[in-house]
């Protein structure tokens, strides 16, 4: 069994979420009575095929333990290795996983702390689709709406929506592959890596698109929090 690849979840949780207007880092804002990230971690903890979940915090984070007081144990890890960008935080988390014994061929499922409506069944769907895949993949939604380009509040063009998808998380890749992909970025290029798939794509690889769910949206704007609260209270 030692040769069977394991699966780890990695949750970058070092951002401040300035667009959210919550007054605190958005992952710690309360939604339906709990911190946003608490809902996220509860969903990941309910996936038995995930060996452990690592939360990557900013080095000076003093809020996490208050926001998620029950997070701990053999499958719940915390590391204050977050960086100035998402890519830096993920890279720091991958290094911690290696320190804890993870290997090149182990899977890492990177998930946004602010996608707090995640359901275990969606994670299982991703694992089923990618476990035997040569590259890995991500949850995503085919673009349904008409897509516009704009400038200064005016439409400049209507874009072809054919073949376009909205990327979600988790995004599932082998630890060794993801480390190599992120190592190719740096400085301004690193800031352009807004998800793990884009780093892997830069290696010339094509991640698998696994159909996601519309509810798996990332809390970004003030109105998102009230909408998420309504959905969580009805669940």
* Per-domain residue ranges of the chain: 7-134+168-205+213-234
Residue-averaged pLDDT of the chain: 92
Predicted local distance difference test score (pLDDT) of residue 18: 47
Distance CA 211, CA 195 (A): 17
pTM: 0.93
Distance CA 45, CA 116 (A): 13
Tens digits of per-residue pLDDT, 126-173?
Answer: 999 999 999 999 999 999 999 999 999 999 999 999 999 999 999 999
Which residues, at least 6 apart from 224, have a Cβ–Cβ distance to it below 8 Å? 20, 217, 218
Domain 7-134+168-205+213-234: CATH superfamily, name plus number = Spore Coat Polysaccharide Biosynthesis Protein SpsA; Chain A (3.90.550.10)
Lowest mean per-residue pLDDT among 14-23, 52-61, 74-83, 134-143: 14-23
The CA-atom distances, in angstroms, between 134 and each of 40, 137, 173, 174 are 28, 10, 9, 9
Lowest mean per-residue pLDDT among 11-25, 56-70, 80-94, 175-189: 11-25
Q: Flag whether pLDDT at 22 surpasses 90.
A: no
For residues 16-31, give the mean pLDDT.
Answer: 72
Query: In the structure encoding, which two tokens stand for residue 59, read together?
Result: 């080095």
Tens digits of per-residue pLDDT, 178-209?
Answer: 999 999 875 545 556 789 999 999 999 999 99
Bridge partners (DSSP) listed for residue 55: 11, 78
- The runs of H, that is alpha helices, within 170-214 are 175-183, 188-191, 196-201
């Amino acid at each position: 069994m030692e040769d069977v690849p394991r699966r780890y979840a990695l949750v970058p949780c070092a951002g401040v979420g300035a667009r959210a207007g919550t007054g605190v880092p958005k992952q710690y804002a309360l939604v339906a009575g709990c911190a946003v990230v608490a809902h996220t971690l509860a969903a990941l903890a309910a996936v038995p095929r995930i060996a452990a979940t690592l939360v990557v915090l900013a080095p000076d984070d003093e809020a996490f333990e208050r926001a998620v007081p029950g997070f701990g144990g053999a499958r719940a890890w915390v590391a204050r290795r977050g960086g100035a960008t998402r890519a830096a935080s993920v890279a720091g988390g991958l290094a911690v996983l290696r320190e804890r014994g993870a290997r090149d061929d182990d899977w890492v499922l990177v998930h946004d702390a602010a996608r707090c409506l995640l359901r275990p069944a969606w994670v299982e769907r991703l694992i089923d689709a990618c476990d035997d895949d040569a590259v890995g993949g991500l949850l995503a939604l085919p673009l349904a709406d008409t897509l516009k380009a704009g400038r200064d509040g005016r439409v400049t063009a209507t874009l072809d929506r054919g073949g376009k998808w909205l990327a979600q998380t988790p995004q599932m890749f082998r630890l060794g592959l993801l480390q190599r992909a992120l190592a190719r970025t740096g400085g301004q290029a690193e800031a352009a890596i807004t998800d793990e798939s884009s780093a892997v794509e830069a290696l010339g690889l094509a991640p698998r698109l696994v159909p996601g769910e519309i509810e798996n949206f990332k809390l970004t704007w003030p109105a998102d929090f009230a909408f998420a609260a309504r959905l969580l209270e009805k669940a």
